[in-house]
């Protein structure tokens, strides 16, 4: 596929992925890209946009369809996030995802990254706090060497006061490896969130 055509295909897929994320409440960028590409009949993996391209498409989507965001919803997001992050304080919680940037999908989900090498501690905390949870695995793309690879990480879903909460369980080393693009990769810490206007 010629470079110009590839760039155009990536933009179209990014826009469709952004629509899927906002309309269906999907938080997994990789899944949204694949679904958008399949919907558009694009089979080339080179045509899949980067997460940054999807972020740009999400911002465009918001400008068109959500020019003003309800401050009450944003306040509820912050309160809920801080409450959950306080509970998981020992695991270096960071609020991530579109909600942190003021993008509110049709079905919002709080995304919080937790960093630990012992997931059992998180499960014990949930059980001891009588919090019901669902556990699943998700694939994340990482580039630790010259090649990109997919790695499975556990994701725990719990009920928040206002929205479902998705806890991504990452290794402690992952925290150190997210120095670039901190806000979108690592997220905001509890301390940063206290002083942050969503």
Over the stretch 126-146, which tens digit does the pLDDT of each residue have?
Answer: 999 999 999 999 877 666 555
The interaxial angle of helices 51-65 and 29-39, nearest 10 deg, is 80
Contact 142, 114 (CB under 8 A): no
For 180, what's the count of Cα atoms within 13 Å in the CB-facing half-sphere?
A: 3
Q: pLDDT tens digit string along 26-62?
A: 888 889 999 999 999 988 888 899 988 998 999 898 8
Report the C-alpha gap between 132 and 154 in whole angstroms.
Answer: 16
d(CA 54, CA 164): 22
Q: Give me the residues paired with residue 142 across strands.
A: 149
Taking phi over 0 as left and psi of -120 to 50 as alpha, with beta for the rest, 71 belongs to: alpha
**Which residue, 100, 85, 90, 84, is CA-closest to 27?**
100
Question: What was the pLDDT predicted at 183?
Answer: 41
Question: Domain 71-194 belongs to what topology?
Answer: Beta Polymerase; domain 2 (3.30.460)
Task: List the domain boundaries for the chain.
Answer: 3-65, 71-194
pTM for the whole structure: 0.74
Least confident of 5-9, 52-56, 145-149, 194-198: 145-149
Which is more confident, 100 or 131? Answer: 131
Which segment of 42-46, 104-108, 142-146, 157-161 scores lowest on mean pLDDT?
A: 142-146
Residue 181 has pLDDT above 50, yes or no: no
Between CA 81 and CA 190 the distance in angstroms is 9
Q: Give the pairing type, strands 110-115 and 149-159.
A: unpaired
Q: What phi, psi does 93 have (nearest 5°)?
A: -70, 145
């Amino acid at each position: 596929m010629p470079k110009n055509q590839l760039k155009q295909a990536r933009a179209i897929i990014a826009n469709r992925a952004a629509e899927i994320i906002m309309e269906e409440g999907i938080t997994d960028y990789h899944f949204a890209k694949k679904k958008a590409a399949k919907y558009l009949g694009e089979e080339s993996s080179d045509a899949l946009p980067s997460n940054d391209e999807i972020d740009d498409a999400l911002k465009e989507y918001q400008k068109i369809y959500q020019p003003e965001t309800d401050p009450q919803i944003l306040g509820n997001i912050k309160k809920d996030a801080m409450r959950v992050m306080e509970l998981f304080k020992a695991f270096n919680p960071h609020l991530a995802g579109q909600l942190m940037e003021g993008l509110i999908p049709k079905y919002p989900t709080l995304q919080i990254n937790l960093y630990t090498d012992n997931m059992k501690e998180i499960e014990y905390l949930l059980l001891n706090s009588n919090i019901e949870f669902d556990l699943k695995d998700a694939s994340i793309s990482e580039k630790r060497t010259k090649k990109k690879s997919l790695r499975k990480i556990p994701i725990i879903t719990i009920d928040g006061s206002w929205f479902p909460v998705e806890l991504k369980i990452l290794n402690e080393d992952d925290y150190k490896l997210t120095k670039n693009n901190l806000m979108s990769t690592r997220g905001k810490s509890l301390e940063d969130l206290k002083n942050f206007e969503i």
